[in-house]
Structure 1
Amino acid sequence: MSTLEIKDLHAQVLPSDDNSEPKEILKGVNLTINSGEIHAVMGPNGSGKSTLSYVIAGHPRYEVTSGEILLDGENVLEMEVDERARAGLFLAMQYPTEIPGVKVSQFLRSAVTAVRGEAPKLREWNQELNSAREDLSIDKSFIARNVNEGFSGGEKKRHEVMQLSILKPKMAIMDETDSGLDVDALRVVSAGINRYQEDTNGGILLITHYKRILNYVKPDFVHVFAAGKIVTTGGAELADKLEADGYDQFIK
């Protein structure tokens, strides 16, 4: 069993120039995720959902001003980004970065080596890579392409879930993994997320605007995020209420 605890977390985004002041985004986030749980975080644009994911992962533009993030009792905020990944945290980004000149196969093997502490044997690695690729209905030519370069929205999200299935983290933060997906791709990606959760009993923080992915990835808890914090929590039925009536009822 693993536990990710976020306690009274406050964080600000640092300015991109010297003439601006830092802007507070997170204003007291409290959330606990245990192994095997799926937590959906829903909220309007600009509420701070993606900022929460960046702060957990250690993005350098975001500064924690108070509060704690603990993974199995260890202070995540004292870890570098790579240390957080090796400790068992994973972020599927809303806008994955292109990495020209780096093949998908090279990228994934390097990531696995860093997380596991040793390089997988080549024959076993090829079997593992092909199995993950086939599970997500990804063409064989995909692994020879440069990471995210020229990828469609659906290909980028499948690649994120492919990483998830191979790295097998303790906790997965999925930031709008459903954005840009058509119906067929949404089903494939959702099946990949469910497969990870079933195979590893990992915890999932699923950030989304819409209920549609929750038709396939069933949450144990739904949290409404507004003005930098969680304002209410419920079960899966809360997503239905949000779909029907919007966020205003909770924001006010």
Structure 2
Amino acid sequence: MTKPSSALLDVRDLRVQVGERTILHSVSLQAEPGSLSVLMGANGSGKSTLGMALAGHPHYRVLGGQALLEGQDLLALPAHERARAGLFVSLQAPPDIPGVKNNLFLRTALNAVRAARGEEPLDAFDFIASAKAAARDLSLPEALLGRPVNEGFSGGERKRNELLQLALLRPRVALLDEIDSGLDVDGVRAVVALIGRLRAQGTAILVVSHYLHMIEQLAPDAVLRLDQGCIAETGGLELARGIARTGFARAAEPALEA
């Protein structure tokens, strides 16, 4: 009998296919409350596939394995129920949603999550006050709250808008796919500060990044290197520093501990 796990997120032998190609061959990992893991890997190694499969994207077909969120079978849930259960997955390239106001999108998502937690919904007045405060913390112009989601946003504004979603939703588990992409120095500082606050509240976080300076600031509990759809190495900051020095095109080395 498989021993039950106390982890918020427990992924075991996950195998995922996209089209006719198997991308994840066997990925197992755990994320404890308040933990931070960094996922690194060459292009095509499966980092984004992991996030999309956990989120329930229909183009990512799970061939086998298991993913539990607080003991609940995540893979059995439709995508919106995974979000309501406390999973947040950011995108490398957040899309536009024409015709849908940003503040309406955010309030609807937040109240759906609050309902799943047994909390009362926020009215428009209380929501906009909290949204504006969170936007100021992230240096996101308040005017963008009233515009269609990501329409006409710069790359950095799209990423800050995802950070705004993260700050308001306060998920149980967050997988952030290159959240630093397109951000300036102040934006990276905002990422580090927000992740620190969420960890203190018990959110388990997995960050996909190759930006060593940010990784060092985040001080992760673990660094995982994905290679050909498997976790090939597990270590600490020294593993991230070694990858930054030599790249991924190198002979396999023993896992390095911080």
Taking structure 2 as the reference length, the TM-score comes to 0.90
Q: Counterparts of 2:142 and 2:231 in 1: how far apart (Å)?
A: 42
Q: Counterparts of 1:196 and 1:250 in 2: how far apart (Å)?
A: 36
Give the structure 2 partner of residue 168 of structure 1: 170
Judge conservation of contact 2:33–2:202 (CA < 8 Å) in 1. yes
Judge conservation of contact 1:99–1:146 (CA < 8 Å) in 2. yes
Judge conservation of contact 1:112–1:166 (CA < 8 Å) in 2. yes
Q: What pairs with 1:124-135 in structure 2 (closer than 5 Å)?
A: 124-135=126-137
Give the structure 1 partner of residue 183 of structure 2: 181
Cα displacement string for residues 24-44 of structure 1 (whole angstroms, at most 9, x for unaligned residues): 000000101111100000011
Judge conservation of contact 2:34–2:198 (CA < 8 Å) in 1. no
Aligned residue for 2:122, secondary structure, equals coil
Judge conservation of contact 2:224–2:234 (CA < 8 Å) in 1. yes
Aligned residue for 1:249, secondary structure, equals coil
Judge conservation of contact 1:221–1:233 (CA < 8 Å) in 2. yes
Percent of residue pairs bearing the same amino acid type: 43
- Equivalent pairs counted in the alignment come to 244
Judge conservation of contact 2:103–2:128 (CA < 8 Å) in 1. no
**One-letter code aligned to 1:56:** L
Judge conservation of contact 2:11–2:67 (CA < 8 Å) in 1. yes
Cα displacement string for residues 58-83 of structure 1 (whole angstroms, at most 9, x for unaligned residues): 00001011100011111111000011
Cα displacement string for residues 111-138 of structure 1 (whole angstroms, at most 9, x for unaligned residues): 0111112531233212211221111112
Q: Counterparts of 1:38 and 1:189 in 2: how far apart (Å)?
A: 13
How far is the alpha carbon of 1:251 from its aligned partner?
Answer: 5.0
How far is the alpha carbon of 1:166 from its aligned partner?
Answer: 0.4
Could you tell which deviates more after superposition, 50-59 or 135-144? 135-144
Give the structure 2 partner of residue 9 of structure 1: 14
How far is the alpha carbon of 1:2 from its aligned partner?
Answer: 5.2
**One-letter code aligned to 2:234:** T
Judge conservation of contact 2:10–2:31 (CA < 8 Å) in 1. yes
Q: What pairs with 1:31-180 in structure 2 (closer than 5 Å)?
A: 31-117=29-115, 118-180=120-182
**One-letter code aligned to 2:135:** R
Q: 1:64 to 1:144 in 2, by over 3 A?
A: same
Q: Counterparts of 2:169 and 2:68 in 1: how far apart (Å)?
A: 20
Give the structure 2 partner of residue 19 of structure 1: none
How far is the alpha carbon of 1:190 from its aligned partner?
Answer: 2.6
Cα displacement string for residues 123-177 of structure 1 (whole angstroms, at most 9, x for unaligned residues): 3212211221111112221211110111111101111011011001100010011
**One-letter code aligned to 2:147:** R
Q: Counterparts of 1:250 and 1:136 in 2: how far apart (Å)?
A: 40
Judge conservation of contact 2:35–2:204 (CA < 8 Å) in 1. yes
Give the structure 1 partner of residue 229 of structure 2: 228
**One-letter code aligned to 1:234:** G
Could you tell which deviates more after superposition, 121-130 or 172-181? 121-130
Q: Structure 1: 5+ residue runs without aligned partners?
A: 15-21
Cα displacement string for residues 5-49 of structure 1 (whole angstroms, at most 9, x for unaligned residues): 1101111002xxxxxxx1100000010111110000001111111
Give the structure 1 partner of residue 256 of structure 2: none
Q: Counterparts of 2:186 and 2:149 in 1: how far apart (Å)?
A: 22
How far is the alpha carbon of 1:250 from its aligned partner?
Answer: 5.3
Taking structure 1 as the reference length, the TM-score comes to 0.92
